[in-house]
């Protein structure tokens, strides 16, 4: 069992309390017998202190147990689920402190729970192991929940962006250029910028940047980055410094992070960069003009990307932050799918859902996402164009997607393109709004007859749409559920018939 020092303190405290209660001693009685103050014993039992060896010896003598027994990490059957939970690191990966929940108090509370709740804790741990729910999945799910809880708008970061614009007199007249951010990082934050070293290592060709900390931080940049990617990466590095975010991953990629705080800080730095590049006052004004158009025009989105020198993903993420606050469009989702030339499947890399019940991204990556979504059609177009796409053309489309069961409709914008710096990797990003009365009021082109409307679902496995030409897998999950429902109905009918007789 590999446990952190904090978890060792927690387990020692739980064990001490368990032994004390088994001996039918109050904490004041144990204090008198051991010569240790009540307040210190309380801190030990609550996992806040780990006593020195002389105090452990005094406690073991007072409880009439051996020293080795007391310091052993082995717990009784009732408390073993707590140890398993701590060993799994699930609790440490959840952002409990960001929700005002004290980990030590939560563990103590669980230790006092009934046997059925202890069994539930064991079930959760086993479920996590059996379904391969890694620490990364827990952290990323926790981050998504954290963003959704705040409706993806963070006033403190917005104010920090305003401060840095004023401090460095950053002009908002045109798109922010990478050269300006390089100057700020080198002149004000003592950075060395290197655009050559990273690409000398073939296995690092897919990493956008690496930071080597020192007296002068060295920022190694991938020379194949587009101008928008370069600007975002530099803005993110500026965010780490200006927001004073110390706990971080020094490589900008899809690599594993060590903690939830690293993941959260990565998000905060990314949010800072997007807010710097896509000024909220200017973008809000441009979005209003875009929404007021009578007809859907994909070129208008392209103009927006070009104006701010921003990627479709950065722009869509920024819109999710501003839509609720400035347009009262608070039922929205964002999806990013990736694929490669050698891969026939689609990987959901990022997702965000605000105030929505349905899961537009599907339920699990091992299932097949509905091929009727515009997200995948633009991705297929980008993949079909492939490496011939020298100009990095964007494939932009819109679709009204109606869910098969609920009949809820979503107005979706999607963009597919080459996922640079990988030449044979492709991605699509989708921004979708619930097509309700408020959306119809804000977006004038919602009923443009040129926009395709399609019946969709989450995954093929859970879908019973008949004669679907795009289906990639049989509706196994849906059929299982239907069978269960039929069995229940038959049993209910049988009971009703027997009662009549």
Collect the ranges in the chain with pLDDT lower than 50.
Answer: 1, 130-133, 363-364
Q: Which of 333, 310, 345 is nearest to 432 (CA)?
A: 333
What pLDDT does 57 receive? 92
Distance CA 501, CA 493 (A): 13
For residue 316, report the phi and psi dihedrals to the nearest 5 degrees.
Answer: -65, -40
Burial class (CB in 10 A: 0-12, 13-18, 19+), 306: exposed
Q: Classify domain 5-133 at the CATH class level.
A: mainly alpha
Q: What is the pLDDT of residues 276-309, one digit of tens each?
A: 999 999 999 999 999 999 999 999 999 999 999 9
What pLDDT does 99 receive? 58
Alpha-helical (H) ranges within 206-254 are 227-242
The reply to whether domains 151-277 and 280-460 share a CATH topology is no
What pLDDT does 153 receive? 92
Q: Which two tokens stand for residue 201?
A: 């290592």
Place of tokens 């689920």: 81
What pLDDT does 94 receive? 60
Distance CA 86, CA 107 (A): 9
Q: Which two tokens stand for residue 462?
A: 């859970």
DSSP-derived secondary structure for 307-343: HHT--HHHHHHHHHHHHHHHH----EEEEEEEEETT-
Distance CA 240, CA 245 (A): 5
Q: Which of 131, 46, 120 is nearest to 84 (CA)?
A: 120
Q: Which of 407, 328, 335, 442 is nearest to 378 (CA)?
A: 335
pTM for the full predicted model: 0.76
Q: Which helix (H) or strand (E) holds 90?
A: helix 90-93
Distance CA 358, CA 463 (A): 14
Distance CA 178, CA 173 (A): 15
Alpha-helical (H) ranges within 46-79 are 53-63, 67-71
Q: Which of 224, 193, 222 is nearest to 208 (CA)?
A: 222
Q: Which CATH architecture does the domain made up of 280-460 adopt?
A: 2-Layer Sandwich (3.30)
At a CB cut-off of 8 Å and minimum separation 6, what does 476 contact? Answer: 461
- For residues 92 and 59, the answer to whether their CB atoms sit within 8 Å is no
What pLDDT does 129 receive? 52
What pLDDT does 133 receive? 46
- For residues 280 and 255, the answer to whether their CB atoms sit within 8 Å is no
What pLDDT does 1 receive? 45
Q: Where are the domains of the chain?
A: 5-133, 151-277, 280-460
- Per CATH, is 151-277 categorized as 1.10.3470? no
- For residues 260 and 95, the answer to whether their CB atoms sit within 8 Å is yes
For residue 51, report the phi and psi dihedrals to the nearest 5 degrees.
Answer: -70, 155
- For residues 82 and 67, the answer to whether their CB atoms sit within 8 Å is no
């Amino acid at each position: 069992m590999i446990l952190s020092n904090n978890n060792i303190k927690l387990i020692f405290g739980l064990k001490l309390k368990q032994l004390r209660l088994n001996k039918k001693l109050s904490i004041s009685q144990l204090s008198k017998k051991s010569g240790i103050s009540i307040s210190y014993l309380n801190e030990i039992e609550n996992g806040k202190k780990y006593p020195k060896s002389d105090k452990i010896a005094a406690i073991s003598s007072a409880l009439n147990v051996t020293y080795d027994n007391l310091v052993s990490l082995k717990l009784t059957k009732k408390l073993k689920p707590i140890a398993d939970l701590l060993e799994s690191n699930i609790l440490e990966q959840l952002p409990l402190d960001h929700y005002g929940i004290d980990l030590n108090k939560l563990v103590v509370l669980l230790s006092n729970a009934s046997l059925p709740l202890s069994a539930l804790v064991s079930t959760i741990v086993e479920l996590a192991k059996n379904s391969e729910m890694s620490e990364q999945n827990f952290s990323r799910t926790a981050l998504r929940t954290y963003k959704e809880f705040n409706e993806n708008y963070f006033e403190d970061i917005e104010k920090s962006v305003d401060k840095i614009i004023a401090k460095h007199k950053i002009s908002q007249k045109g798109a922010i250029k990478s050269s300006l951010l390089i100057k700020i990082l080198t002149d004000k934050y003592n950075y060395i910028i290197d655009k050559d070293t990273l690409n000398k290592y073939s296995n690092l060709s897919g990493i956008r940047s690496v930071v080597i900390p020192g007296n002068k931080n060295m920022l190694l940049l991938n020379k194949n980055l587009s101008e928008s990617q370069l600007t975002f990466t530099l803005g993110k590095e500026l965010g780490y410094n200006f927001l004073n975010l110390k706990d971080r991953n020094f490589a900008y990629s899809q690599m594993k992070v060590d903690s939830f705080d690293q993941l959260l800080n990565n998000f905060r730095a990314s949010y800072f960069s997007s807010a710097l590049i896509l000024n909220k006052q200017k973008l809000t004004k441009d979005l209003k003009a875009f929404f007021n158009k009578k007809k859907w025009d994909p070129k208008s989105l392209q103009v927006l990307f070009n104006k701010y020198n921003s990627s479709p993903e950065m722009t869509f993420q920024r819109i999710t932050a501003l839509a609720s606050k400035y347009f009262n469009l608070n039922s929205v989702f964002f999806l990013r799918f990736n694929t490669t030339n050698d891969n026939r499947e689609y990987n959901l890399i990022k997702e965000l859902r605000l105030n929505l019940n349905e899961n537009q991204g599907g339920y699990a990556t091992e299932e097949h996402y509905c091929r009727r979504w515009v997200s995948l059609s633009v991705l297929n177009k980008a993949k079909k164009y492939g490496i011939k796409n020298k100009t990095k053309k964007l494939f932009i489309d819109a679709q009204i997607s109606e869910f098969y069961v609920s009949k809820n409709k979503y107005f979706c914008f999607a963009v597919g393109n080459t996922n640079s710096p990988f030449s044979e990797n492709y991605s699509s990003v989708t921004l979708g709004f619930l097509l309700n009365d408020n959306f119809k009021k804000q977006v004038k082109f919602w009923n443009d007859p040129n926009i395709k409307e399609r019946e969709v679902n989450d995954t093929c496995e859970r879908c019973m749409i008949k004669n679907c030409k795009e289906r990639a897998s049989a509706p196994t999950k849906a059929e299982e559920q239907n069978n269960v429902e039929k069995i229940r109905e038959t049993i209910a009918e049988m009971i009703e018939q027997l009662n009549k007789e």
